[in-house]
């Protein structure tokens, strides 16, 4: 369910013609927001794009998503309400222009405080500015708790009086099934739900060269990426030549589609590409052209197609998959081979009840387990689901670390006051530092055969229900 507010609509005519092309560099890539989860604070995602209207007005379009389940509610006249403020600040990066806007909203919701709530309240706003490069700062304040969350992005708007050729940031939008007459909605996150029906990529081209037409080359790429759950703690470390170690193979993408569009008229043109929903995986949509000096202008939007309800888990298959950390691998494979959703749900229920026995205790353990799975999705999502990462596995089994020590490419999670105890201090290494070409923190647990008893003990705490009375 989406709650939407529209403050300004703009229509820009599109003039395009089709042909074909190629490309592999990536100096300017938009990736949307990764999940930012902090217990007790509004969960916020945002995106922005700079545009010129058909009358050459400089505009910044800002979309803010607020997860309704992250807000504090009170009941007024039998209606559950949360009060939020959205503050938008526009700051020119190399100049003095600023603009501030505040909007106050009352969000009504039937949200009941369960960890599966992922509905969002969406606020769309288009602000008039001047040409330039801007930082866009969005702060969302929960007026009941007084707590605020802040997100940042950039927006670049070309000067229509300047003869330079320009491409704006690429914006990704989506539309759900059964909504043929409804508009596409901006997608603010890196992850995209497989429950959508179609996607749209939108960007604006400014061409003030009256003497030469302009060609825009675009490609939709898919990258080979690891999607396997974390292996047991006592197994060998990943080999540097394996995909789980690399994370994503950025070198040889599969080309899904490639198109060249020729613009024969000068001015600002909004270009759109529409696709049906893609299979789960890691993708990039890229566009490039050449400026008046022969230099390449490149823009791209990275994204990953995840399960329909991500980061929540609702279907029987979504609930069954993370049980791999509590089950024998062969038993888990047999469970996942069940195709009928009702039969799979019965197998999941049977697994929990056959181990814990007591219905009320089993319900409490199930809620705790899947709450940690969802939190892992929100905190550790990369090219694969957060629960499948090494950090996600440790977080699910042991909970939040007591202490965290960070070094250049190393992170240590401690679950003991004794920071030298090898049983409860887990070391993670990342093969690659995050950069503009590899935007993920692929931290890998440094495994040891000595962890066999540790993981076995922790698994038994879950399977007996004793996890409810144990600190880790």
306, 337, 352 — which closes off a domain?
Answer: 306
Backbone angles phi and psi of 199, in degrees to 5: -125, 155
Residues 109 and 233 in one domain: yes
249, 280, 306 — which closes off a domain?
Answer: 306
Looking at the predicted structure, is the pLDDT value of residue 2 above 60? no
Q: Is residue 311 part of a domain?
A: no
Residues 379 and 300 in one domain: no
CA distance 322 to 375: 13
Residues 35 and 135 in one domain: yes
Looking at the predicted structure, is the pLDDT value of residue 97 above 90? yes
pLDDT for residue 219? 96
Residues 361 and 446 in one domain: yes
Looking at the predicted structure, is the pLDDT value of residue 104 above 90? yes
280, 306, 332 — which closes off a domain?
Answer: 306
Number of domains within the chain: 2
Looking at the predicted structure, is the pLDDT value of residue 354 above 70? yes
pLDDT for residue 111? 52
Residues 178 and 256 in one domain: yes
Q: Is residue 299 part of a domain?
A: yes
CB 112 within 8 A of CB 73: no
Residues 274 and 352 in one domain: no
Residues 255 and 150 in one domain: yes
Length of the chain: 472
Closest CA to 384 of 309, 277, 310: 310
Out of 62-66, 296-300, 368-372, 430-434, least confident range = 430-434
Residues 141 and 211 in one domain: yes
CA dist 354 → 324, 337, 346, 465 (Å): 16, 20, 12, 12
Residues 54 and 115 in one domain: yes
Sort residue 205 into left (φ over 0), alpha (ψ -120 to 50) or beta. beta
Centroid of chain to Cα 126: 23
Looking at the predicted structure, is the pLDDT value of residue 279 above 50? yes
Closest CA to 320 of 291, 343, 304: 343
CB 225 within 8 A of CB 383: yes
Residues 274 and 387 in one domain: no
Centroid of chain to Cα 338: 29
Closest CA to 386 of 370, 401, 410, 408: 370
Q: Is residue 84 part of a domain?
A: yes
Instruction: Read off the pLDDT of each residue in 45-57 and give the average, rounded to a whole number.
Output: 89
CB 157 within 8 A of CB 51: yes
CA distance 161 to 136: 24
pLDDT for residue 142? 95
Characterize 100-133 residue by residue with b for buried, 16 or more Cβ atoms within 10 angstroms of its Cβ, and e for exposed.
eeeeebebebebeeebbbbebbbbbbbbebebbe
Residues contacting 272, CB < 8 A, separation 6+ = 14, 200, 201, 202
Q: Is residue 72 part of a domain?
A: yes
Instruction: Read off the pLDDT of each residue in 240-249 and give the average, rounded to a whole number.
Output: 91
CATH for 267: 2.60.40.10
CB 372 within 8 A of CB 392: no
Residues contacting 59, CB < 8 A, separation 6+ = 10, 50, 51, 52, 53, 126, 127, 128, 129, 157
For residue 282, the enclosing domain spans 2-306
CA dist 342 → 121, 338, 348 (Å): 32, 9, 10
- 168-200: pLDDT as tens digits: 889 999 998 876 778 899 999 999 999 999 999
Sign of torsion over alpha carbons 307, 309, 312, 314: negative
Residues 341 and 403 in one domain: yes
Residues 361 and 425 in one domain: yes
């Amino acid at each position: 369910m989406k709650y939407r507010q529209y403050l300004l609509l703009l229509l820009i005519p599109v003039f395009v013609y089709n042909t074909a092309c190629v490309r592999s560099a990536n100096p300017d890539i938009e990736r949307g927001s990764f999940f930012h989860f902090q217990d007790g604070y509004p969960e916020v995602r945002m995106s922005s794009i700079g545009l010129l209207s058909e009358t050459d007005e400089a505009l910044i379009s800002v979309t803010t998503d607020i997860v309704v389940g992250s807000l504090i509610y009170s009941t007024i006249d039998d209606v559950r309400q949360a009060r939020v403020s959205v503050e938008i600040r526009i700051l020119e990066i190399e100049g003095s222009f600023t603009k501030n806007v505040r909007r106050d909203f009352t969000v009504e919701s039937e949200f009941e405080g369960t960890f599966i709530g992922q509905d969002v309240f969406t606020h769309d706003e288009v602000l008039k500015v001047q040409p330039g490069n801007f930082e866009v700062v969005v702060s969302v304040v929960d007026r009941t708790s007084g707590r605020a969350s802040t997100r940042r992005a950039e927006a670049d708007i070309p000067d229509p009086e300047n003869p330079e050729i320009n491409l704006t940031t690429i914006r990704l939008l989506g539309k759900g099934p059964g909504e043929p007459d409804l508009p596409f909605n901006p997608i603010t996150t890196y992850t995209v739900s497989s429950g959508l029906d179609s996607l749209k990529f939108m960007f604006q081209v400014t061409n003030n060269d009256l003497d030469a037409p302009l060609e825009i080359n675009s490609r939709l790429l898919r990258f080979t990426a690891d999607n396997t759950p974390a292996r047991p703690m006592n197994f060998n470390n990943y080999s540097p030549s394996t995909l789980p170690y690399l994370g994503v193979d950025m070198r040889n993408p599969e080309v899904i589609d490639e198109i060249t569009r020729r613009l024969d008229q000068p001015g600002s043109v909004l270009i759109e590409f529409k696709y049906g929903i893609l299979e789960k995986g890691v993708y990039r949509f890229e566009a490039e052209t050449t400026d008046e000096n022969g230099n390449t202008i490149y823009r791209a939007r990275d994204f990953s197609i995840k399960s329909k309800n991500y980061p929540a888990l609702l279907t029987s298959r979504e609930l069954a998959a993370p049980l791999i950390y509590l089950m024998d691998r062969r038993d888990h494979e047999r469970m996942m081979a069940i195709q009928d959703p009702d039969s799979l749900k019965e197998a999941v229920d049977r697994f929990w009840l056959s181990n814990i026995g007591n219905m009320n205790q089993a319900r409490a353990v199930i809620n705790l387990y899947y709450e940690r799975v969802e939190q892992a999705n929100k905190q550790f999502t990369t090219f694969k689901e957060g629960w499948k990462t090494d950090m996600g596995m440790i977080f699910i089994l042991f909970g939040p670390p007591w202490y965290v020590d960070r070094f250049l490419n190393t992170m240590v999670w401690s679950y003991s006051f004794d920071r030298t105890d090898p049983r409860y201090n887990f070391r993670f290494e990342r093969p690659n530092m995050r950069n503009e070409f590899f935007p993920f923190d692929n931290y890998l647990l440094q495994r040891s055969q000595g962890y066999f008893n540790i993981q076995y003990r922790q698994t038994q705490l879950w399977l007996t229900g004793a996890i409810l009375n144990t600190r880790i």
